[in-house]
Amino acid sequence: MNEIWLSVKAWTQRLFLAAVVVYAGLFFYHNNGETIKFWYWFKPEHESTVFMLTTLAFFAGVVFTVIASTALKTIKQIKDLRSRGRQEKMEREISDMKAKAAMLQTRPVENETK
């Protein structure tokens, strides 16, 4: 029974991949020849194909996602380091206080019943 599900899963993945490849081919075929004018900065409009513009937009999105993810991970690591540093500092202070308390001389307890 397990082999049947693995076979169904494999065929589903293959069909999905084939559909993506066919769609990419059709997208390239229909959008490669069409030129558009687009503006991205204070200069004259530039001409490019729809395919090139969407490809560049896709890769710009990927780059932005990677940079944003890296920035968020870095911020999280900095917060963790700060909290660890605070905790270690408090532990050092407590151990120093215990060491100082151990060095103090204790008075002998006097009996109150004399």
Q: Is the pTM of this model over 0.85?
A: no
CA gap 37, 48 in Å, rounded: 7
**Buried residues in 38-56 as b, exposed as e (16+ CB within 10 A):** eeeeeeeeeeeebbebeee
Q: What is the pLDDT of residues 64-87, one digit of tens each?
A: 999 999 999 999 999 999 999 899
CA separation for the pair 51, 31 (Å, rounded):
5
State the Cα–Cα distance between residues 80 and 72, nearest whole angstrom: 12
Cα-atom radius of gyration of the chain, to the nearest Å? 34
Say whether pLDDT at 59 is over 70: yes
